[in-house]
Structure 1
């Protein structure tokens, strides 16, 4: 039987005659940080102080112990090396590697001694490749397109430039005899109601003449098949298999598959994975609105409620299974049902996809290409295909994986960013996205759809980012336009859009110790990586709010409110146009360090107000006021599988609390549909002092704005800066684990910044608008000494400009 022994201890990191203890899996930066050689690059201006690390060579060393006899072959297996390295044993070359996204295996039968992995500088390798293949344009100046390494390690408009190296995934020794399972490709389908697992197997042999047998077990059923040469197929049918569904549509039953390779009666190797039975498709049919882009799971057409995922740490070896699960649990709790793994990052670890399987989170997987023209010459071309083949097969068992995507923004970049002229006919990646990658997916994983890029209209017959065709990235808003412009288009699928805000106050205090915080203080500017990021924040803010000069706390609160408002404007508009628009993927869920960015969860894992707003926006049921050609309507979005019935209450009010008009309507919305109620003209608010409130209550209403089964929508017809809000008056009471606020006036966008109570404290909700007489109870975790004065100091809300 194959035996595996981890090689995760006893490593040293060597550089210029110095040696430091090394952690494997890990990387150079984390080892130097642990040794006290470098400052924390996440704190202050530390990123600049460690820039030299990425331009040096580094060597990892340890003893490779003698292997006990009893097996015919011994292999040294690296699951991930970042990125360009030579592996030697006693000074003799075992091999060279040049791809972070692949695993590597070396025959070390009968060998022992000093094992060394020498990493060359990624910069040096990238420049050497550029010299060979020629220059290629990119959205950023760093040379990330010349090697198969996580692109965002070279910096992004939300990320630091921390180009590391290291043994970033596990390493082990495997001993085996006769044969081992080299590749298992599971094709999981549902055929006429029967779950089918077809395992296509390749083996590596030491003895050609040995007769081999495959045995597969799934859900108490088994099947056997004889191997032919080095390949074989075994198929198991599960007639009573339950379907795997995305969250909100059904359960997530998972079935363990066990495949054993036998020689006679002796087991040689075992492969185990969990699978789920489901069908998945992508409807890109043309229609009266253009070309659709709708995910279909088990025959059910979905509006995808998505978020974009970047590596959760710029040093991904630090992201544990527990951290993956926590972050993805946060996503699921916010109503998210789709995670897009963005193309400037990595193929994530099994822990990530396992958690998505269990949580019912659909995964859209980009191949790692982003925002650059990628050469198609060697040595890159062969690496791309090998990497794709390995990772497609590795991730195939996961039912959560529903879409392969060729790249991020490169087809768009070729058309709109001046690349075509600069390239002068040189290759730039089209052959990957429209050739190599769809061919690999069709050959190895025909159970899943493939799309060439995001954005992509489906063919060169339309502009790559045409909102009427395929996927669309909405970045004119934020870069140049106000978020109200989201309402001007109804894209078929919005794969990227978003708005910036700073991280939580406690995150800033940790990352910028001792700094007097200001929007333009040195640390704040360093932790703002977007081009003219603060300028765009300021322009976006002043369109809606009057910002007191020099008041950082108020600026911090209002920028976070504005982020939530911007994303809400887009999602409410697009969800109200289902099924023409079939999904939104917010840029972005998470951060890889403390930074002002588009994230809903900051680099220290704290939830911004946007996160809690997503819980409302991505709930199964949503109320939103929208303008149509016929006038103002209330759109009732019901994405649940059950009809929605209740009493709709409309009230036209003044900011002082006076009710000018009211109406009640019985609401009845079918499952998975959007219904619209025309707002009577006499209830439409007029002027800066009026607003409209809609409530739907499925049970008798109490004075608590958050009680019962109610949903609320509010519409103010003018920007906040023009609204004469009354001075907010409210009472605050505290109890262990909660803060209760009772409003005596209109209190708009009330926010408890729990991290101001204690760095580890967390509130269970974000922005809340209260009418006079209403109250809200906010749950608070991690606050050991409740105090009403402290709670009041941590509460922020809208006020009239003074």
Structure 2
């Protein structure tokens, strides 16, 4: 018999931890929280100010160059088991672990767990556990100095360590290089045989579900009995007897008439409980029965990138996901639910977990399983060359094997991706000269990682990188092949450049805008507030970021008159830029098979590409994404010498609706009207040419197209940019009515009111609004519903904004 007993050494489990600096100027021992990070411990103790506020980031840089010691003591009661092990699920990062004066081991990888035999070291009272961490920045520099520098972006050589890259700072994130016991730690006590790992790989065979459960087993010395492995799933129990000492076992279970798991918009998400037992040791999880495939075959247009679930192609409407807090130990099930809900409410069906972050938590994956959000998980390599020396390669293999084993059970897992932009970097970013022929990571992306995925999770597709053209003789960022990142928009050219591309799949593209006003002013205290103020630039990490915000206005919007206009103008321009790109990409369907915007979330208050800011407030960009990520999209697009209405139907039923196109004046006149009724087949798109009666304005500065479907779908087309459009500054009126939840603001238009947006956080940072970027023709009304706030008597600039008040 075996019975694994666990003694948690976490703060929640009753362990009292302390942390102290081993060098530098900080001489105080303080209470520590485990799991946690030294920054959050110092903050909780009142020893440092908020690292996100003002310019505290630079003032606290010493933390990343200081060595730290975590310590606890605990008693131990012998329980009759033969083996005791200290199990650390996550140590960040370069650590030495000592128990009762005996060194157990040294670690150098945040992205894996560790297990140490402590059978002969435990005593009844006062076991002293000490974990000493090298300062993250100095550790990275020391490793880099030891074997040479490999090219990387940003300030520190993050690529020298197996640690979350963005923890060292990124072009949207703070430099707060942490140390700490960041995942649970415990003592496990057992006898006989223990389940070491489980990979329940769920698939389909016709209408039946097939579960291949792959186990690894650990055996105590001297235990020589055969054991029975039992797997229960969907009412089916399957047993297998394994001989003593057997380290791996495979059990196949069949569930008749299984309900298939589907991504959102394609079906339901049934999940089946799985229990694996070896005598008294149990493992429990959940699986969804589905298949996933990735078609990257050549075609007449280049190379496809088609993700299919249960043999059904999925048009991807997604976003890139970064760690949801710069201090990841503050994340929990509730925070993940809130942020993933942002993706759901915006109409997304995929999140790409970017390679400069972490292998995401069980909470993240469990929620995606439940909600039908597909997950693209990068292996953790980003924007850098990586050594392939023996020490680092061994760590890479260990972390990859553990990550694939842990995450393979999840129905939502759809893609393993080798790296972020490293193949592109090698080809185009000037790495080859400093590398001087040294290996740079290709061995990981083209050999090691695909072998591990094929071995441990063969049901999940693997992509060598993003972007990648799936042929080593083609530029990795060629629009005609595979995945593409579009970054000349934002960095160099106007966002109308999106229309010059015909990408097969866009896995990164983005445009910046500031966070909500209340979020920004909670951390930026420049007097007066200015885009180029000292603290403002602390919270703008992109190279020449605010200059690019200004340049990116182009002919679309005028330069701001004051800081309030700067905030609204740049938020609006961000939203329009991304909507412009997505509408174009979707109009190319089926040539284009998906778009994954950069980025959904922020990890602190910052000017960035995010749709939802660091305080969880949905920016205008989020409302634009909600509009263009609808299942049934209408958009007006130029094609050669004409305008067309593109209708993309991303549903399983035919879209039959009468569409009316009206050429209107900015006032209330209707000059021309055309009606047509396209039949858009399921999961397809149509292009309908528009006649000159509606596409040829008499005065393009005073006219626009209003396109309405009988089912309520709506879009607009403007013949000139807003800087030339004769919008009225007195085109609407607003009224406020208190409600039980907050208040409603109803706006009624007397002329074209373009991109109306309400910012209730200007009055109360806790307030949230349900809609944004609403356009009204003369005579129309819209009601904004505000929650968690007290009703004001009236609203106006800067709480209620529109494009009209920028250009009138």
Query: Which TM-score applies when normalising by structure 1?
Result: 0.96
Note if 1:764 corresponds to 2:766: no
CA distance, structure 2, for counterparts of residue 526 and residue 470 of structure 1 = 36
Task: Name the SS of the counterpart of 2:91 in structure 1.
Answer: coil
Alignment of 1:325-344 (within 5 A): 325-344=337-356
Candidates 672, 696, 702, aligned match of 1:689: 702
Which residue is equivalent to 1:12?
18
Which residue, 541, 553, 562 being the options, matches 2:573? 562
Question: C-alpha offsets along residues 421-440 of structure 1, whole Å, 9 cap, x if unaligned?
Answer: 22110111000000110011
After superposition, give the CA deviation of every residue in 1:138-192 in whole Å (9 maximum; x if it has no partner): 1223110000000001111101111110000111121111110011122211012
1:216 aligned residue (219, 228, 231): 231
Structure-2 residue corresponding to 1:166: 180
Is structure 2 residue 618 aligned with structure 1 residue 607?
Answer: yes
Contact 1:733 1:740 in 2 (8 A): yes
* Distance in 1 of aligned mates of 2:564 and 2:748: 23
Distance, in Å, in 2 between the alignment partners of 1:445 and 1:255 is 19
Pick one of 116, 124, 132 that aligns with 1:118: 132
Kept in 1: contact 2:749–2:776 (CA 8 A):
yes
Q: CA deviation at 1:394?
A: 0.2
Structure 1, 787-796 or 365-374: larger mean CA deviation: 787-796
Written as runs of structure 1 = structure 2, the 5 A alignment for 1:636-655 is 636-655=647-666
2:75 to 43, 65, 74: 65
Q: Determine if contact 2:646/2:685 at 8 Å carries over to the other structure.
A: yes
Distance 2:108 2:744 in 1: 53
Tell me if 1:300 matches 2:312: yes
Match 1:532 to one of 526, 534, 544 = 544
Deviation at 1:792, TM superposition (A): 6.5
For structure 1, list consecutive stretches of 5 or more residues without a partner in the other structure: 699-709
Does structure 2 conserve the Cα–Cα contact (< 8 Å) formed by 1:226 and 1:232?
Answer: no
Secondary structure class of the residue paired with 2:552: helix
Cα distance in 2 between the residues matched to 1:477 and 1:211? 63
Match of 1:750 among 756, 760, 766: 756
1:233-632 correspondence to structure 2 within 5 Å: 233-262=250-279, 267=280, 269-513=281-525, 515-549=527-561, 551-629=562-640, 631-632=642-643
- Partners of 1:791 and 1:79 in 2: how far apart? 52
C-alpha distance in 1 between matches for 2:299 and 2:540:
42
Partner residue of 1:725?
A: 727
Kept in 2: contact 1:728–1:747 (CA 8 A):
no
Q: Is the counterpart of residue 205 in structure 1 residue 219 in structure 2?
A: yes
Q: Tell me, yes or no, if the aligned pair for 1:473 and 1:495 is still in contact at 8 Å.
A: yes
Q: Does 1:678 align with 2:677?
A: no
Query: Counterpart of 1:481 in 2: which secondary structure?
Result: coil
Please name the residue that 1:702 is paired with: none
Aligned counterparts of 1:11 and 1:329: Cα–Cα separation in 2: 35
Partners of 2:529 and 2:211 in 1: CA distance: 57
TM superposition shift of 1:361: 0.3
Residue 208 of structure 1 and its aligned partner are, at CA, apart by 4.0
The answer for the alignment partner of 2:62 in structure 1 is 52
1:152 to 166, 185, 198: 166
CA contact (8 A) 1:685 1:691 kept: no
Question: CA RMSD of the aligned region, Å?
Answer: 1.3
How far is the alpha carbon of 1:727 from its aligned partner? 2.2
Corresponding residue for 1:703? Answer: none
Distance between the aligned counterparts of 1:230 and 1:143, measured in 2? 39
Shift of residue 299, structure 1, vs aligned partner: 1.1
In the alignment, the residues of structure 2 paired with residue 795 and residue 123 of structure 1 have an alpha-carbon distance, to the nearest angstrom, of 45
Is contact 1:752–1:796 with CA below 8 Å preserved after alignment?
yes
Shift of 1:553: 0.8
Mapped to 2, the partners of 1:548 and 1:297 lie a distance apart of 47
Partner residue of 1:795?
A: 800
Quote the offset at 1:15 in angstroms. 1.6
Deviates more, 1:15-24 or 1:754-763: 15-24
In structure 2, how many angstroms separate the alpha carbons of the residues matched to 1:539 and 1:409?
A: 26
- Asked whether the equivalents of residues 667 and 750 of structure 2 are also in contact (C-alpha less than 8 Å), the reply is no
How far did residue 28 of structure 1 move? 0.4
Whether the 8 Å contact between 1:728 and 1:746 is mirrored in structure 2 is: no
Q: Distance in 2 between matches of 1:436 and 1:560?
A: 43
- More off after superposition, 516-525 vs 215-224: 516-525
Q: Distance in 2 between matches of 1:195 and 1:801?
A: 60
Residue in 2 that maps onto 1:91: 101
Measured in 2, the distance between the counterparts of 1:614 and 1:237 equals 41
Contact 1:215 1:224 in 2 (8 A): yes
Residues of 2 paired with 1:84 and 1:400: CA distance? 32
Taking a change above 3 Å as real, the CA distance of residues 369 and 793 of structure 1, as seen in their structure-2 partners, is: closer
SS at match of 1:720: coil
Between the aligned partners of 2:303 and 2:730, the Cα distance in structure 1 is 49
Indicate conservation of the 8 Å contact 1:57/1:120, yes or no: yes
Shift of residue 31, structure 1, vs aligned partner = 0.3
Please state how far the C-alpha of 1:123 moved relative to its aligned partner: 2.3
Structure 2 CA distance, aligned partners of 1:787 and 1:98?
Answer: 55
Q: 1:557 to 1:685 in 2, by over 3 A?
A: farther
- Is the 8 Å Cα contact of residues 350 and 374 (structure 2) preserved in structure 1? yes
Q: 1:685·1:692 contact (CA, 8 Å) conserved in 2?
A: no
Contact 2:564/2:798 (CA < 8 Å) preserved in 1? no
Q: Distance in 2 between matches of 1:762 and 1:717?
A: 34
Displacement of 1:787 after TM fit?
A: 2.5
Q: Which stretch shows the higher mean deviation, 410-419 or 519-528?
A: 519-528
Equivalent of 1:23 in 33, 56, 67: 33
Q: 1:459: how far off?
A: 1.8
The 1:376/1:253 distance shift into structure 2, 3 A limit, reads same
Q: What does the per-residue CA deviation read over 1:305-355, in whole Å, with 9 as the maximum and x for residues that have no partner? A: 010000011111111111011100111111010000000000011000001
CA contact (8 A) 1:639 1:671 kept: yes
Q: Deviations over 1:214-245 (max 9, x none)?
A: 00100111000011422222121101210000
Q: Runs of 5+ in structure 2 lacking a partner?
A: none
